[in-house]
Structures are given as C-alpha cells and as structure tokens.
C-alpha cells in the first residue's frame, strides 16, 4: 500500500476514483431514500383508493372485481390482499388473504399500519364504511415495495459500475500525460554526468515544477562554486608546496656539490629547515581543510584574557629571537563562547603574523576591551602594516603582503578568517593609530 501511495500517478488515480465512487454512492443512497418515500406515499394512496373502490363496488359486483383484479394485478396477486368483514364475520377476501383480520376489528378509525403476519410484513389500510357495519382491510406485502425501490436503484447503479473502470482508465491516462514533464525532468537528471553542473533550462517547464527546477539549479550553482573553490585550493596548494620542495632539493643538491665543509653543513641544515617548513605548510593546509569541511566545533564558555596570556607566552621565544616586545593588556576576565582550540589558533596566527612581518625590535600588543558590552580583541604592531589593496587581498589563500620577505605561507590569514566566521566575529583590519603598523580587531557577538 505504501508503495502504491508512493507513486503520484497511483495516488491521483485512487483519489479520483474513490471520490467519484463516494459521490455516486451517496447520490444513490439519497435516491434510494427518496424513491422509497415517494413509493410509500404513492402505494399508500393506491391502498386507500383500492379500499374505497371495494366499499363502493361491494354489492353484487364481486364477480366483476375479481375479474378486473386478475387482469391488471396478476403479477402482484400473491403480494396484495383484501378482507371484508361485516361486523366480525368475514364476508369476502382475496384468495391468498388469511381468514383472520390483519388488524383488530374493534377500531372504527381509518388507519394505515404495518403489521407482521406469519413472518411477512404487510402494509395495511383499514376503513369502515359509512354505515359502520362493514370493515374493509386492504394489505400489500412490504417486500413488494422494496423490490420496486431496488429495481429503480439497480437501474441507476448498473451504468455506474460499468463507468467506474472506464473512469479509472481515463484518469490513469490523463495523470500519466499530466506528469510527463516530471518524468522528462527525471530522465534529464538521470542522464546527467556528475560533472555537468550547468543549470537546467526553465523555458517550457510547467509552472508547478518551476520552483523545484529553480531550486535544483540553485543547488547546481552552489556545488559548482564549491568545486571551483576546491579546485583552486588544490592548485594553489600544489603550487605553494613547490617552492619549499624546490628549496629542499636545491639545498640537498648543494650539499652534494659544494666542497667546503662549512658550506655543506649550512646546506644540510637548510635542507632540514626546508622540510620543517613544508611540514608546517601541510599542517596548515590540513587544518584549513578541516575548518572548511563544515564541521561545527563544540562551543564552551572561556576566558579570552587567559587564552591570550597563554598564546603570548608561547610566542615569546620567537619574538625574543627578533628582539621584539610583546604586551598584553587585559585588566579583567573576558568570558566568551567559543572553541578553545580554534580561538587559540586564531590569536596565535595573528600574533605569529605580527612577529613574522614586523621588523627587529618591533612592539606587538594585544589589547582586550569591551564595546557596547561586546568583547573586543585588538592585535597591533609597529611593523610596516598593509596598504588598502593588500588589506583587501588578505585572507586570499596563500596571499602574502607585497613587501613580504618572511617565509610565511599566507595560509595563516585564511585560517584566522575561517575561525572568525565560525565564531561570528567581526574582523576589522586597519592601521594602528598608536603603533603605526597593522591593527586587527576582533569583535565578539553580543551575548
């Protein structure tokens, strides 16, 4: 049943046939009731008429009556009956009428009743003549009435029973024709190559199907964008890995080629450094791929001040190598909702960038504060900063600033931006009014 209802065609056909049948059956029922009522009234009138006829034609005309009745009423003869009583003596009766009166004779009233005699229901009319001596009873079997009503009903039901299968066939045919565009769409989709993501033309699509086709086209578009960005990412990643690998190769080959022992040591050390750099690049690529795979991280309440303190502590050795000064200004705890690991990676990336792209002896400060009840983290440095065109390209994967002499991959920003998106942070990049270098401001959403 479930399978059948799964088909739109079967569903529509069933529904149409069921509704038609229901309408037909209720119409027949109404007709049945109506016919029975009309019939009852008509036949009751006949009974009454027959009784009065008996009363007026009683004297010496029995013979003739008998004759007329037999001609006209023969098919109904066993089903109609009459009795004529003079006081309580049966004077005459039809052949198949019982000798006992259908109804008690004590009543003088004229009345129509239904009685049961020996298991057969009779419709009975009884009346008394005007001289109050003779009681006339006319009866008719109820079953006879029902047979007439049934015959009427049958004559209306027959065409219906014949028409129903025809109707079903027509509906199936019509539904199939109506649903043909849908089947065509299905065939088109089934025949599509997985790489074909161009929109389905909507020119002659029926209005009902247009929203579906448009939704599909929208989906195709989104998948195409996603694939494009994946392809770009793979291509960029491959290119970006070429340089560290070229460096490793050049250094290793130089180690083979140079004669000088000190130069060879240097080349070998550089080979290892190159391997570390390639490994870090791959780590970042994997991290970014995980971030972009759409997995939502678990959020918890954490203290941003505490987290920033940890990140700066970890970054201090790197800053010391470049004789840079790290500062943290976080006068109180700043509770925010987020993923500790991701927010740490975010702050670490920004601080690492500041260290990497700022000159020897630069100042790098991280400041926490509140604006309109929202927590703001600002990372500023005294480095060269970025001009506007460079700021716009920040977050392009692998983009490094124009003046960049440092060996970054440019992935740090992509990672930072993605983490910020996941936490719905507002990111603003401008020139630090105090330190003159780059300023990155992260504003948390209000709670």
Partner 1 sequence: MRILLAEDDRLLGDGIQAGLRALGFQVDWVRDGFATERELRAQTYSAVVLDLGLPHRDGLEVLLALRAEGNAVPVLVLTARDAIGERIRGLDTGADDYVVKPVDLHELAARLRALIRRSHGQPRDRLQVQDVSLDPAAHQVHQGGRSIPTSAREFDLLHALMLNAGRVLSREQLEQHLYSWGQEIESNAIEVHVHHLRRKLGAAAIQTVRGVGYVMPVRPAIE
Which positions touch partner 1 (CB under 8 A)? 239-240, 242-254, 257-259, 263, 266-267, 270, 273-274, 277, 401-405, 407
Q: Do the bridges between strand 325-329 and strand 363-371 make them parallel or antiparallel, or are there none, so unpaired?
A: parallel
> Least distance in Å: CB of 269 to partner 1?
10
Q: Which two tokens stand for residue 247?
A: 């460096």
Contact 429, 438 (CB under 8 A): yes
Q: Closest CB to partner 1 among 263 and 279?
A: 263
Q: At what angle do helices 340-357 and 411-422 cross, to 10 degrees?
A: 150
Contact 129, 107 (CB under 8 A): no
Please name which of 427, 385, 358, 418 lies closest in space to residue 229, comparing C-alpha atoms: 418
Largest CA distance in the chain: 160
Contact 335, 307 (CB under 8 A): no
Q: Closest CB to partner 1 among 271 and 349?
A: 271
> Least distance in Å: CB of 332 to partner 1?
42
Q: Closest CB to partner 1 among 196 and 272?
A: 272
> Least distance in Å: CB of 198 to partner 1?
24
> Least distance in Å: CB of 254 to partner 1?
4
> Least distance in Å: CB of 253 to partner 1?
4
Please name which of 321, 311, 386 lies closest in space to residue 352, comparing C-alpha atoms: 311
Q: Which residues of 115-148 are buried (b: 16+ CB within 10 A; e: fewer)?
A: eeeeeeebbbbbbbbeeeebbbbbbbbbebbeee
> Least distance in Å: CB of 280 to partner 1?
13
Q: Closest CB to partner 1 among 244 and 383?
A: 244
> Least distance in Å: CB of 242 to partner 1?
4
Q: Closest CB to partner 1 among 395 and 410?
A: 410
CA 123 to CA 116: how far, in whole Å?
9
> Least distance in Å: CB of 246 to partner 1?
4
Length of the chain: 447
> Least distance in Å: CB of 393 to partner 1?
14
Helix H or strand E encompassing 422:
helix 411-422
Q: Closest CB to partner 1 among 176 and 402?
A: 402
The CA dihedral of 64, 65, 70, 76, to the nearest 10 degrees, is 170
Q: Closest CB to partner 1 among 228 and 426?
A: 228
Q: Closest CB to partner 1 among 277 and 423?
A: 277
Q: Closest CB to partner 1 among 112 and 255?
A: 255
Q: Closest CB to partner 1 among 210 and 242?
A: 242
> Least distance in Å: CB of 402 to partner 1?
6
Please name which of 311, 305, 302 lies closest in space to residue 364, comparing C-alpha atoms: 311
The upper half-sphere exposure of residue 186, i.e. CA atoms within 13 Å in the direction of its Cβ, equals 5
CA 139 to CA 81: how far, in whole Å?
5
Q: Which residue has the tokens 């046939």?
A: 17
């Amino acid at each position: 049943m479930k399978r059948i209802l799964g088909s739109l065609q079967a569903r529509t056909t069933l529904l149409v046939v069921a509704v038609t049948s229901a309408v037909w059956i209720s119409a027949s029922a109404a007709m049945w009731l109506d016919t029975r009522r009309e019939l009852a009234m008509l036949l009751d009138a006949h009974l009454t008429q027959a009784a009065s006829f008996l009363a007026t034609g009683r004297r010496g005309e029995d013979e003739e009556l008998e004759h007329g009745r037999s001609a006209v009423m023969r098919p109904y003869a066993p089903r109609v009956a009459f009795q004529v009583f003079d006081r309580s003596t049966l004077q005459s009766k039809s052949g198949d009428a019982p000798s006992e009166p259908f109804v008690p004779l004590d009543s003088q009233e004229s009345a129509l009743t239904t009685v049961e005699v020996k298991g057969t229901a009779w419709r009975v009319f009884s009346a008394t003549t005007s001289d109050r001596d003779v009681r006339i009873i006319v009866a008719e079997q109820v079953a006879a009435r029902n047979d007439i009503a049934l015959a009427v009903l049958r004559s209306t039901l027959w065409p219906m029973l014949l028409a129903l299968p025809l109707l079903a066939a027509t509906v199936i045919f019509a539904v199939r024709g109506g649903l043909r565009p849908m089947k065509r769409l299905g065939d088109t989709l089934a025949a599509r190559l997985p790489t074909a993501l161009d929109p389905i033309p909507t020119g002659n699509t029926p209005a009902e199907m247009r929203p579906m086709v448009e939704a599909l086209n929208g989906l195709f578009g989104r998948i195409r964008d996603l694939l494009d960005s994946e392809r770009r990412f793979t291509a960029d990643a491959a290119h970006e890995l070429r340089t560290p690998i070229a460096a490793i190769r050049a250094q290793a080959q130089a180690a083979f080629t140079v004669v000088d022992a000190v130069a060879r040591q240097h080349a070998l050390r550089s080979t290892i450094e190159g391997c570390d750099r390639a490994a870090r690049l791959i780590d970042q690529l994997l991290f970014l791929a995980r971030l972009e795979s759409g997995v939502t991280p678990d959020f918890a309440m954490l203290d941003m001040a505490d987290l920033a303190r940890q990140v700066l502590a970890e970054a201090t050795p790197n800053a010391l190598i470049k004789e840079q000064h790290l500062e943290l200004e976080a006068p109180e705890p700043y509770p925010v909702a987020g993923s500790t690991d991701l927010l740490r990676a975010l702050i670490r990336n920004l601080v690492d960038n500041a260290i990497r792209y700022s000159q020897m002896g630069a100042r790098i400060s991280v400041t926490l504060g509140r604006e309109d009840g929202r927590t703001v983290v600002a990372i500023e440095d005294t480095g060269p900063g970025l001009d506007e065109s460079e700021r716009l390209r920040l977050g392009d994967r692998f983009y490094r600033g124009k003046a960049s002499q440092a060996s970054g991959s440019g992935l740090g920003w992509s990672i930072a931006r993605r983490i910020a998106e996941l936490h719905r942070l507002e990111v603003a990049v401008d020139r630090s009014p105090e330190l003159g270098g780059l300023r990155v401001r992260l504003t948390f959403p209000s709670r």
